[in-house]
Structure 1
Amino acid sequence: MNTRNSMQISAARLALRWAMAAAAVIVLVIAGSIAANRTLFSPQHQVKALQQHLAKGEGAEALGLMQAQVPEGDAVALDGDVLKRTQAGITEFTTDKAQPVDGDEQLRTVTAHYKAHGVEKESTYTLRHAGKSWLLFDKWAFEPSTLPSVKIKANTVNEVTVNEQKIPLSAGVSTLPVFYPAILDASFSTKNFAADTRGMVVTAPAEEPVEIALKTEPTKEFIAAINTKVKKYLNDCAEQQVLMPSGCPFAYNTSARVDPATIDWSISKYPTIEVNYYNGAWVLSPLKTTATLTLTEQDLRTGAKAKKTVKEDYSFTAQLTTSTTEVSVVPVAGGEQVAG
């Protein structure tokens, strides 16, 4: 038996096995590297990483990843809780395979699909090949861009609520830079004025800010406050036992003699309050009231006395001075303002 030859054969077989194992490892490493390069080091992965930063409210990380410029405005929606709230309604975020860009082989576009409060939307991102890492893995960087912005407009108020955050207004306007995608919900509610929530989904950059214009409406409390003041004014007028109450819209003319003690005014119908926004201010529509007068007249020739009831319609206006919490009503009767 040739022991030496057997040992040589065994050593050769062992070396072959090691070589085959090493080759298999190399193949697995290469395959894994290719797979990783297609996933973890792909343009799509960068887009998903960006969305993860946004969902966590990590604005600085997202901004650095995007290499984006921030337009002028209130940056409150670019970080922290407000940023997270802009992403709360973004669900089922997925990406398509990166697509080449004609004319530049280093560029790729990635389209993301998602739902914004259940409505299907999409956004497209552009990335550039930025070399390789460890000679194996591609590096992709977002093409520098400028973030979109949203202009929020509202009259009569100094601030609005955007995604649960109070935002101050300047001359009724505030501009907010935002990431995309983003969902913004704006509204406001004060004692006298309110606006229903209006939503906006931002899906891409734009040269001009997209607008959310809030429609201001008077509150029930505001109308009730005006109604109370107008009623008090008319009731005060009705308490005057004269034919022409001072500073009041109604009056009665007669050639007969009237005993002042018999004069009794009452309001049969109070005005309907209607407020409109016109030329930068809230104005009260012309007011109509119905007043009833009872009195006793004495004929100057015969001396006969007769009880009389007169019911007529009268019109007047009133000037409003308003804020979000206060309202002043100044009636105007006979062309003269009356303290109210």
Structure 2
Amino acid sequence: MGERTALSPTTRAALIWGGLAALVIVLFIVAVVILNATVYSAKGFVHSYVDALNRGDTSSALALAGVQATGASGDELLTVPEKGELRRIQITAERESAGGVHRVTVSFDTSSDLGDTSTPHTTTFAVRPAGKIGGLFSQWQFQTAPTASIDVTPLHDPRFTANGSDVTTLGADVASRFTVLAPAVYSLAHDTMYLTATPETTVADTVGGVVPATVDVQPRASFVAKVRADVDKYLRTDCLPQRVLLPSGCPFGQEVDDRLTSTPTWSMTTYPPVSLDPTDTAGVWKVVTATGEAHLRVGAESLYDGHDYTINEDVPFTVGYQVLIGSNNGLTITPQ
């Protein structure tokens, strides 16, 4: 047997370092492949976008979407966070089509604050390659901007809230179109001093789709109570003290053909009930025509035979008012 030639220390060191360098190169290549298949993949790009939406990072979501909020009418919801509105987010499908465009489908659930009832939704995005980072990592961009539209009709008042943010449209009772980042999940409501609307969840989960939504603004019980108190106070303090048969500016009165022998006195038997209906003018509500009863007591002398008698009777009357809500939440009530 021949003798083995011993490797010099220098040679051994070179082999070791060469092996380590080769291993590092292999590991680097593997890392690049893994990252391109996950973080820097079409699926990873879409997941980053949806995650930014769901954590309320609207700036990052807009940047990834390639969409800019201009501040123009209709862009208001683009900057309203959707934090935590999406649940159980999953990439469920990816399909590559001609031109290298990838269609990535995301599934998610939404649920109300009142329970665990969930509704499954899916959104499909079209993304395409957009070059490389450092010649190694894939970049992606949306082939079609991931936006949808919500047509919001606020009934009886032009204002509403979206996920707690105040929005004012150009007018009540007409639809206003808002551009949103899809998938969009908004709780639409109204919450002002005198008016309210039950929150309704609106989901726009189709890129390029249009979803209608209605915000049904109604008077609060406190609004009705305030108007009732003001009407009652007016009748009590402005009308009842008038010692005449036909109180000025008041909804009740009584004509008497005979001669009066005492001063008329009024009291209220039944105050009219108050309920409010909307009008065609935003900020103006009307008191639905209602009936009350005032009570008249006055002495009289018959012009026919001269006998004295007392009028002591209830006098029915009707009321109708318009109620204007001012910019400072003051109420202006005018008779109709």
Shift of 1:271: 0.9
What is the root-mean-square deviation of aligned Cα atoms in Å? 3.7
Structure 1, 301-310 or 226-235: larger mean CA deviation: 301-310
Matches within 5 A, 1:257-272: 257-261=259-263, 263-272=264-273
**Deviation at 1:110?**
1.0
SS of the residue corresponding to residue 47 of structure 2 reads helix
1:43 aligns with 2:45: no
Deviation at 1:95, TM superposition (A): 0.2
- Are residue 293 (structure 1) and residue 291 (structure 2) matched? no
Once the 2 structures are TM-superposed, how far is the Cα of residue 123 of structure 1 from its aligned partner? 0.9
Question: Would you say 1:99 and 2:95 are equivalent positions?
Answer: yes
Partner of 2:192: 190
CA gap of 1:247–1:19, structure 2 versus 1, over 3 A, is closer
Q: C-alpha separation between the residues in 2 aligned to 1:139 and 1:191?
A: 50
Distance in 2, matches of 1:140 and 1:188, equals 39
Distance 1:29 1:253 in 2: 103
Q: Which residue of 1 aligns with 2:5?
A: 7
Alignment of structure 1 residues 161-172 onto 2, 5 Å: 161-172=161-172
Distance of 1:115 and 1:269 partners within structure 2? 54
Q: What's the counterpart of residue 330 of structure 2?
A: 326
Q: Given the superposition, is the C-alpha separation of residues 305 and 315 from structure 1 closer, same or farther in structure 2, using an over 3 Å criterion? A: same
Query: CA deviation digits over 1:276-301, x for unaligned, max 9?
Result: 11322422222311122223333445
Structure 2: which 5+ runs fail to align? none
Given that residues 125 and 146 in structure 2 are in contact (C-alpha distance below 8 angstroms), is that contact kept between their aligned partners in structure 1?
no
DSSP-derived class of the 1:44 partner: helix
- AA of the residue aligned to 1:88: G
Decide whether aligned partners of structure 1 residues 278 and 121 sit closer, same or farther in structure 2, where only a CA change above 3 A counts.
Answer: same
Counterparts of residues 179-328 of structure 1 (less than 5 Å): 179-206=181-208, 208=210, 210-235=211-236, 236-261=238-263, 263-280=264-281, 281-300=284-303, 302-323=305-326, 325-328=329-332
Percent identical residues: 23
State yes or no: 1:89 paired with 2:85: yes
Match of 1:336 in 2: none
Structure 1 length normalisation: TM-score?
0.76
Structure 1: gaps (5+ residues) = 333-340
User: Could you tell me how far 1:270 is from its partner in structure 2?
Assistant: 1.1
CA 1:45–1:287: 2 relative to 1, 3 Å? same
Q: Which has the higher helix share?
A: 1
Code of the aligned partner of 2:268: I
Distance verdict in 2 for CA 1:229–1:53, change over 3 Å: closer
Distance in 1 of aligned mates of 2:135 and 2:249: 92
Q: How does 1:129-144 map to 2 (within 5 A)?
A: 129-130=129-130, 139-144=139-144
Q: Does structure 1 conserve the Cα–Cα contact (< 8 Å) formed by 2:89 and 2:109? A: yes
Distance 1:146 1:126, change over 3 A: closer
Cα distance in 2 for partners of 1:251, 1:77 equals: 55
Q: Does structure 2 conserve the Cα–Cα contact (< 8 Å) formed by 1:89 and 1:116?
A: yes
Moved more, 178-187 or 129-138: 129-138
Q: Deviations over 1:215-245 (max 9, x none)?
A: 1212233222322332233333332333333
The CA distance in 1 between the partners of 2:45 and 2:130, in whole Å, is 13
CA distance in 2, matches of 1:174, 1:145: 21
- Say whether 1:149 aligns with 2:145: no
- Amino acid paired to 2:205: T
TM-score w.r.t. the length of structure 2 is 0.76
Distance 1:160 1:310, change over 3 A: same
Give me the whole-angstrom Cα distance separating, in 1, the residues matched to 2:225 and 2:155. Answer: 21
Structure having the higher Rg: 1
Q: After superposition, give the CA deviation of every residue in 1:6-53 in whole Å (9 maximum; x if it has no partner).
A: 3399xxxx9x99999999988877666554443233221111121233
Once residues 108 and 146 of structure 2 are traced to their aligned partners in structure 1, the CA distance between those partners, rounded to angstroms, is 22
CA distance in 2, matches of 1:267, 1:38: 82
1:89–1:303 distance in 2 versus 1, CA, 3 Å:
same
For residues 135 and 230 of structure 1, the distance between their equivalents in structure 2, rounded to whole angstroms, comes to 77
- Given the superposition, is the C-alpha separation of residues 296 and 123 from structure 1 closer, same or farther in structure 2, using an over 3 Å criterion? same
The answer as to whether partners of 2:129 and 2:139 remain within 8 angstroms in 1 is: yes
**1:313 & 1:272 partners in 2: Cα distance?**
13
Cα distance, 1:326 vs structure 2: 1.9
Q: 1:304 to 1:22 in 2, by over 3 A?
A: closer
